[in-house]
């Protein structure tokens, strides 16, 4: 049920959604694709036993029974699996622990876990501000892969006990750009203050969702505040039909969290011991209500449903997404049929987010957020856990059907390739004119003060043509990421188990393992020239992660001839794909907690050379005119005046 204020909020949200789609579309590289031979099911009226969906420009362009249309492009045969709208968790605690540390070290892996579970949209249950905004920015910009994030800000009475304080906090959060206000209501006596919060939120076109689960009486008090949404069905007693009808008549949507007090297994231990949802012992750890809450929540959810309340899906969990999904589904299935749950998870949850015209269904014009699962969820709701493929905004973001790629499905990177532009590592930040050998060329990576000073020293040496470049020591690898920045040609050897980047200059080889292995544990790593790289394929994009790099400061590696350097804490995520028939693009996101103040994104492109071009051996030693240290055998670097530039070497040279 919609009122005028809700209509305005919905219009604003839809405008923002369309703007975000326009801004992020190019970054996400939405694919035109066809998924055919699938059971189509969405809980909003689509139920086709064998059908096809056509995706164009990130949205659903056609839904039909039968096979793929003629002249279809990228066709995915679902082999009879079930295609549903992307999953939505409308109440999820996302960022845990230290927010800055989480964003730096965990965000990418945690967001991939959500995608792997089938989630394409998450509403924050009150995560720290501004960290949740930064997470949303990274995903919307395409810098990070993950579900779209709907932000919320908390205004809980214990933290803002006066009307003035509560109104001020709502204004602050509105100014920051939160999309909804969350309030926790534990007693009926808090109604007056929360009514004030709701009033202030409406002044800023913000809805309020109230955590009012302590009892049915608190739920009714929350309804009387004028808020538009409730999170969590109540426990602390069973609700009556009359109370449920009051919620329905007020047009208030609710979320489930049916599994709140139900024991979890195999989440916090592997010995079959039941725990509460935070890992504390069950049932002693249950908050507010004890054992009866396990039954009251799911029964009350059914009573609300039967009396016409729009009930959506929210887990209110913070552990592994697939585990939280499994826990909530098995609890809901006690009181809801499989078909009920499909409706609850799709169109109902989209309505809770005021996004029913955008997500939550397979309707033409909706965003192409799709989940392909093995089996029929109407036979067993647990089949929703069998995620084979996930599509977000028309882009395949999880593909277990072809993750173990066969030779025939690998992208064609054959031929000989050459890097575009001069060997300046990040030309986007270049100041001055000319190539890497021109004195005065400046790079501006986001160094901290200490490492900027180190780089300035190298620049000064470069300007005097006195910077020792280890590449002149014949036989030394250039290391990573410098191997991506070489002047001579490349070949890319692509197999299901490995990808090799082979640079003629050196020669140098970067090995990327795509056979499912992970990095060695930290205690078994050591710094090497090219580090340790493991990757996987996301459609036609190679994504690889590189750690264990040898520090370039005072060491045998630099990134380019201007003297760019990184520490041994450097961590690089590279996304590499063929953007057209003649161009391969590599986008490197470099993080270094010792040297950089923020991630440094560098893009390199490589052009395919004419057919018949060959790559040859580069035999540095055959033209080695530099002197050799007679003790170590090291080729020494000399300046234009013949002075040895290498540090800590014997100055006496034996000449033949």
Whether 309 is covered by a domain: the verdict is: no
Res. 400: pLDDT tops 70: yes
- Average the pLDDT over each of 79-88, 201-210, 619-628 and give the range with the smallest value: 619-628
- pLDDT tens per residue across span 470-484: 666 666 788 899 999
Query: Do residues 516 and 601 share a domain?
Result: yes
Whether 483 is covered by a domain: the verdict is: yes
| pLDDT for position 29 | 45
The average pLDDT across 252-265 equals 92
| pLDDT for position 277 | 85
Whether 585 is covered by a domain: the verdict is: yes
Res. 215: pLDDT tops 80: yes
| CATH code, domain with 139 | 3.30.110.90
Last residue of one domain, picked from the residues 151, 183, 199: 151
Sheet with strand 181-184: strands edge to edge: 153-154, 181-184, 208-211, 229-231, 253-255, 311-312
Res. 49: pLDDT tops 80: yes
Res. 53: pLDDT tops 50: yes
Angle at 501 between CA 495 and CA 504, to 5 degrees: 130
Query: Do residues 385 and 508 share a domain?
Result: no
In which band, very low, low, confident or very high, does the pLDDT at 435 lie, cut at 50, 70 and 90? very low
Query: Do residues 392 and 466 share a domain?
Result: no
For the residues of 390-451, what is the DSSP string, one character each?
A: EEETTEEEEESSSSS--GGGS----S-EEESS-S-TTGGG-BSSS-TTSTT-B----B-HHH
| pLDDT for position 496 | 84
| CATH code, domain with 379 | 2.30.40.10
Query: Do residues 493 and 548 share a domain?
Result: yes
| pLDDT for position 646 | 57
Distances (CA, A) of 55 to 160, 254, 389: 47, 31, 15
Res. 69: pLDDT tops 90: no
* Domain coverage including residue 485: 417-618
| pLDDT for position 14 | 41
- pLDDT tens per residue across span 74-115: 888 887 889 999 999 999 999 999 999 999 999 999 999 999
Phi, psi of 382 (to 5 degrees): -65, -15
Query: Do residues 113 and 68 share a domain?
Result: no
Res. 2: pLDDT tops 50: no
Domain count, the chain: 4
Last residue of one domain, picked from the residues 151, 184, 204: 151
Res. 340: pLDDT tops 50: yes
Q: What share of the chain is helix, strand, coil (3-state, %, to 5)?
A: 30, 25, 50
Whether 531 is covered by a domain: the verdict is: yes
Task: Please count the other Cβ atoms lying within 10 Å of the Cβ belonging to residue 265.
Answer: 17
In which band, very low, low, confident or very high, does the pLDDT at 627 lie, cut at 50, 70 and 90? low
Query: Do residues 458 and 518 share a domain?
Result: yes
| pLDDT for position 67 | 82
Task: Work out the percent of the chain whose per-residue pLDDT is above 70.
Answer: 82
Whether 410 is covered by a domain: the verdict is: no
Query: Do residues 603 and 499 share a domain?
Result: yes
| pLDDT for position 650 | 45
Nearest to 648 by CA among 311, 640, 639, 637: 637
Query: Do residues 634 and 497 share a domain?
Result: no
- Average the pLDDT over each of 24-33, 87-96, 215-224 and give the range with the smallest value: 24-33
The span from the CA of 146 to the CA of 149, in Å, is 8
For the residues of 275-341, what is the DSSP string, one character each?
A: B-TTSSBTTTT--SS-THHHHHHHHHHHHHHHTT--EE------S-HHHHHHHHHHHHTTTS-HHHH
Res. 417: pLDDT tops 90: yes
Whether 120 is covered by a domain: the verdict is: yes
Whether 276 is covered by a domain: the verdict is: no
The average pLDDT across 412-426 equals 84
- pLDDT tens per residue across span 169-186: 999 999 999 999 999 999
Distances (CA, A) of 260 to 230, 329, 342, 437, 572: 15, 12, 20, 64, 39
Query: Do residues 423 and 534 share a domain?
Result: yes
Between 487 and 555, where is the model more confident?
Answer: 487
Res. 297: pLDDT tops 90: yes
- pLDDT tens per residue across span 384-394: 999 989 999 99
| pLDDT for position 406 | 62
Greatest CA span in the chain, whole angstroms?
A: 102
Query: Do residues 460 and 607 share a domain?
Result: yes
User: b vs e for 126-163, b when ≥16 Cβ sit within 10 Å of the residue's Cβ?
Assistant: bbbbebbbbbbebbbebebbbbbbbbbbbbbbeebeee
Whether 537 is covered by a domain: the verdict is: yes
Structure tokens at 181: 């206000």
Query: Do residues 509 and 566 share a domain?
Result: yes
Query: Do residues 81 and 111 share a domain?
Result: no
């Amino acid at each position: 049920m919609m009122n005028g204020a809700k209509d305005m909020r919905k219009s604003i949200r839809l405008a923002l959604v369309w703007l975000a789609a326009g801004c992020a579309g190019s970054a996400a590289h939405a694919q035109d694709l066809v998924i055919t031979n699938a059971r189509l099911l969405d809980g909003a009226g689509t139920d086709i036993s064998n059908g096809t969906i056509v995706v164009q420009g990130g949205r659903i362009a056609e839904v039909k029974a039968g096979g793929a249309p003629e002249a279809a492009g990228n066709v995915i045969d679902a082999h009879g699996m079930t295609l549903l709208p992307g999953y939505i968790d409308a109440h999820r605690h996302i960022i845990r622990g230290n927010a800055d540390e989480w964003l730096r070290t965990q965000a990418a892996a945690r967001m991939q876990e959500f995608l792997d579970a089938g989630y394409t949209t998450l509403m924050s249950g009150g995560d720290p501000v501004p960290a949740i905004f930064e997470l949303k920015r990274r995903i919307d910009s395409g810098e990070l892969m993950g579900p779209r994030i709907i932000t919320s800000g908390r205004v809980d009475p214990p933290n803002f006990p006066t009307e003035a304080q509560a109104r001020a906090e709502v204004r602050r959060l509105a100014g920051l750009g939160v999309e909804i206000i969350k309030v926790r209501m534990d007693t009926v006596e808090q109604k007056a203050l929360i009514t004030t919060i709701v009033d202030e939120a409406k002044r800023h076109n913000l809805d309020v969702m109230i955590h009012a689960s302590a009892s049915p009486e608190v739920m009714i008090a929350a309804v009387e505040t004028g808020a538009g949404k409730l999170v969590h069905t109540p426990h602390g007693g069973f609700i009556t039909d009359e109370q449920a009808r009051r919620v329905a008549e007020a047009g208030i949507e609710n979320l489930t969290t049916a599994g709140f007090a139900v024991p979890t297994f195999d989440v916090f231990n592997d010995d079959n011991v039941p725990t509460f949802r935070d890992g504390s012992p069950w049932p002693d750890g249950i908050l507010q209500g004890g054992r009866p809450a396990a039954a009251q929540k799911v029964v009350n959810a059914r009573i609300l449903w039967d009396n016409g309340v729009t009930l959506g899906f929210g887990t209110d969990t913070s552990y592994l997404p697939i585990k939280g999904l499994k826990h909530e589904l098995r609890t809901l299935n006690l009181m809801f049929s499989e078909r009920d749950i499909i409706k609850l998870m799709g169109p109902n949850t989209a309505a809770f987010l005021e996004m029913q015209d955008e997500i939550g269904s397979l309707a033409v014009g909706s965003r192409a957020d799709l989940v392909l699962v093995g089996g029929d969820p109407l036979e067993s709701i647990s089949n929703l856990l069998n995620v084979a493929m996930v599509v977000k905004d028309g882009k395949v973001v999880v593909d277990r059907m072809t993750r173990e790629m066969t030779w025939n499905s690998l992208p064609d990177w054959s031929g000989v390739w050459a890097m575009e532009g001069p060997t300046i590592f990040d030309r986007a930040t270049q100041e001055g004119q000319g190539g890497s050998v021109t004195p005065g060329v400046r790079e501006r990576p986001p160094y901290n003060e200490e490492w900027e000073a180190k780089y300035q020293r190298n620049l000064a040496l470069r300007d005097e043509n006195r910077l020792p470049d280890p590449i002149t020591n014949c036989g030394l690898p250039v290391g990573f990421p410098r191997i991506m920045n070489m002047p001579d040609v490349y070949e890319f050897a692509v197999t299901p188990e490995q990808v090799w980047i082979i640079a003629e200059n050196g020669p140098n080889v970067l090995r990327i393992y795509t056979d499912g292995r992970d990095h060695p544990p930290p205690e078994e790593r050591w710094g090497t020239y090219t580090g340790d790289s493991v990757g996987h394929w996301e459609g036609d994009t190679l994504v690889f992660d590189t750690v264990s790099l040898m520090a370039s400061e005072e060491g045998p590696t630099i990134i380019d001839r201007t003297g760019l350097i990184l520490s041994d804490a450097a961590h690089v995520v590279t996304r590499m794909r063929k953007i057209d028939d003649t161009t391969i693009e590599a986008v490197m996101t470099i993080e270094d907690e010792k040297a950089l103040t923020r991630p440094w994104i560098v893009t390199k492109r490589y052009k395919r050379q004419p057919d018949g071009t060959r790559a040859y051996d580069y035999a540095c030693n055959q033209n080695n005119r530099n002197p050799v240290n007679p003790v170590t055998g090291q080729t020494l670097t000399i300046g234009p005046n013949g002075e040895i530039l290498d540090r800590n070497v014997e100055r006496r040279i034996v000449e033949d």
